[in-house]
């Protein structure tokens, strides 16, 4: 009799445990579905709340070393806006995947580095670089075939690198991996590589190299049927035109930049081309200042027009001010070439007259 009672009790215990397990499993899936719904709505605090509840269930069902638990840690790292939570959550996922030798380890380092980079905090730069370097090493060592993530890692490292030589080394790696092993031949990533390499060359005074890079970008765009082809062509036109202007080939530069300006004039007032339109205007001023002979009137006209993209506003954001600092450098070069007899203070007096936002006049 006693054995029969013990048997019945054992069966009941198994049934109860199965029911509890099933209940926890259902709650886990419910929380994950809710998290996904809130993510789609942009309600990230609610997404994070449900992911934390899902993590509690996963720890009970699968334990702290299961891949299912690691996946929820990863989701928390992607959803959080707190650098400590991002670092810790991805760290837990990395520790779990490290025990299994799974190739997702490289992706976790990549995602943690990119998430921390999105927060744009100076004190996080070292952590960002460490994670992206680890991701790049794993991608290259084990050949996971993730060329886009590998290239993006090197592009991000180049963006954070202050030394020009080291920055160029990262950019060359991004470019070589993209052209040699990329299976998707991503349109956006390819343009990003052209843009980063060309801009680096412009900033380093390597104008011929910059022209070749942006000209290749233009040729690639001309052969494309993508929806934003015209936008990419316009950018390549005014940037290659800028390189020509800096090489004192003003007439050739004018021709290219004016083609880009036709596109930006079409978008003027829509808010879709403010930065590119302003840059194109400032480079057109530079091209007219670099022509033989320079056109002083057009330098001033296009300089004023470039600044107008910003000064029609009541106030400027920090990003606007940063962009205007770059435009100021371009316009100063244009002014110096058009008015070699005038001094530095003459330019600044002219610049101040046209660079004040509407709300500050």
pLDDT at 25 over 80: no
Cβ contact 90:112 at 8 Å:
yes
**Cα dihedral sign for 59, 60, 64, 65?**
negative
Q: In angstroms, rounded to a whole number, what is the distance separating the alpha carbons of residues 107 and 148?
A: 11
153 versus 30: which is more confidently predicted?
153
Buried b / exposed e over 36-53, threshold 16 CB at 10 Å, is: eebbeeeeeebbbbbbbb
pLDDT at 182 over 70: no
pLDDT at 7 over 50: no
pLDDT, position 250? 93
pLDDT, position 24? 46
pLDDT, position 14? 41
Tell me the mean pLDDT in the region 120-145.
89
Q: What is the pLDDT of residues 283-307, one digit of tens each?
A: 999 999 999 999 999 999 999 999 9
pLDDT at 16 over 50: no
pLDDT, position 268? 74
- DSSP codes joined into one string, 303-344: HHHHHHHHHTSSS--HHHHHHHHHHHHHHHHHHHHH-TTS-H
- DSSP codes joined into one string, 69-96: HHHHHHHHHHH---HHHHHHHHHHHHHH
CA geometry: angle 295, 297, 298, nearest 5 deg: 70
pLDDT, position 5? 44
CA geometry: angle 185, 186, 192, nearest 5 deg: 120
184: CB partners within 8 A, 6+ apart: 147, 148
Residue length of the chain: 361
pLDDT, position 187? 87
pLDDT at 338 over 70: yes
Q: What is the mean pLDDT of the chain?
A: 87
Confidence of residue 360 (pLDDT cuts 50, 70, 90): low
CA-based max dimension of the chain: 114
- This model's pTM is above 0.95: no
Which segment of 48-57, 189-198, 272-281, 283-292 scores lowest on mean pLDDT? 272-281
pLDDT at 147 over 50: yes
- Which residue, chain included where needed, has tokens 């004190």? 123
Q: In angstroms, rounded to a whole number, what is the distance separating the alpha carbons of residues 241 and 257?
A: 6
Question: At 46, which helix (H) or strand (E)?
Answer: helix 44-61
pLDDT, position 28? 84
Q: What is the pLDDT of residues 318-335, one digit of tens each?
A: 888 899 999 999 999 999
pLDDT at 3 over 60: no
Percent of the chain with pLDDT over 90: 63
pLDDT at 353 over 80: yes
Q: What is the pLDDT of residues 196-247, one digit of tens each?
A: 999 999 999 999 999 999 999 999 999 888 888 999 999 999 999 999 999 9
pLDDT, position 11? 41
pLDDT at 26 over 60: no
- Which residue, chain included where needed, has tokens 């062509």? 233
Instruction: Output helix, strand, coil percentages for the chain, rounded to the nearest 5.
Output: 80, 0, 20
CA-based end-to-end distance of the chain: 98
Confidence of residue 344 (pLDDT cuts 50, 70, 90): confident
pLDDT, position 15? 38
pLDDT at 352 over 50: yes
Confidence of residue 20 (pLDDT cuts 50, 70, 90): very low
Q: What is the pLDDT of residues 87-115, one digit of tens each?
A: 999 999 999 998 876 678 899 999 999 99
3-class DSSP string for 178-192: HHHHCCCCCHHHHHH
316 versus 122: which is more confidently predicted?
122
Token code pair at residue 317:
């954001």
Token code pair at residue 354:
């046209």
Tell me the mean pLDDT in the region 159-167.
95
pLDDT, position 327? 95
Assign 205 to helix, strand or coil: coil
């Amino acid at each position: 009799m006693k054995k029969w009672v013990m048997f019945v009790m054992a069966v009941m215990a198994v049934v109860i445990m199965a029911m509890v397990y099933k209940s926890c499993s259902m709650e886990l899936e419910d929380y994950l579905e809710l998290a996904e719904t809130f993510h789609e709505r942009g309600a990230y605090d609610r997404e994070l709340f449900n992911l934390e509840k899902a993590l509690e269930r996963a720890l009970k069902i699968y334990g702290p070393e299961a891949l299912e638990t690691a996946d929820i840690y990863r989701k928390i790292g992607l959803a959080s806006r707190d650098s400590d939570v991002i670092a810790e959550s991805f760290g837990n996922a990395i520790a779990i995947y490290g025990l299994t030798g799974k190739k997702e380890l490289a992706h976790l380092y990549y995602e943690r580095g990119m998430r921390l980079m999105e927060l744009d905090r100076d004190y996080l730069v070292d952590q960002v670089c460490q994670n992206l370097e680890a991701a790049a090493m794993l991608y290259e060592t084990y050949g996971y075939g993730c060329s886009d993530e590998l290239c993006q890692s090197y592009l991000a490292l180049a963006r954070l690198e202050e030394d020009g030589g080291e920055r160029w080394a990262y950019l060359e790696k991004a470019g070589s991996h993209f052209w040699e092993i990329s299976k998707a031949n991503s349109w956006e990533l390819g343009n990003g590589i052209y843009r980063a390499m060309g801009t680096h060359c412009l900033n380093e005074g390597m104008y011929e190299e910059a022209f070749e890079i942006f000209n290749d970008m233009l040729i690639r765009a001309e052969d494309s049927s993508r929806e934003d082809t015209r936008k990419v062509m316009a950018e390549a036109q005014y940037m290659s035109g800028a390189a020509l202007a800096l090489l004192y080939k003003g007439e050739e530069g004018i021709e290219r930049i004016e083609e880009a300006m036709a596109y930006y004039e079409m978008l003027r007032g829509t808010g879709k081309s403010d930065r590119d339109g302003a840059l194109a205007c400032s480079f057109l001023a530079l091209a007219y200042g670099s022509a033989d002979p320079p056109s002083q009137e057009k330098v001033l006209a296009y300089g004023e027009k470039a600044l107008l993209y910003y000064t029609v506003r009541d106030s400027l954001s920090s990003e606007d001010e940063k962009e205007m600092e770059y435009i100021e450098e371009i316009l100063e070069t244009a002014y110096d070439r058009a008015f070699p007899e005038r001094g530095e203070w003459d330019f600044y007096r002219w610049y101040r007259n046209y660079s004040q936002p509407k709300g500050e006049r």
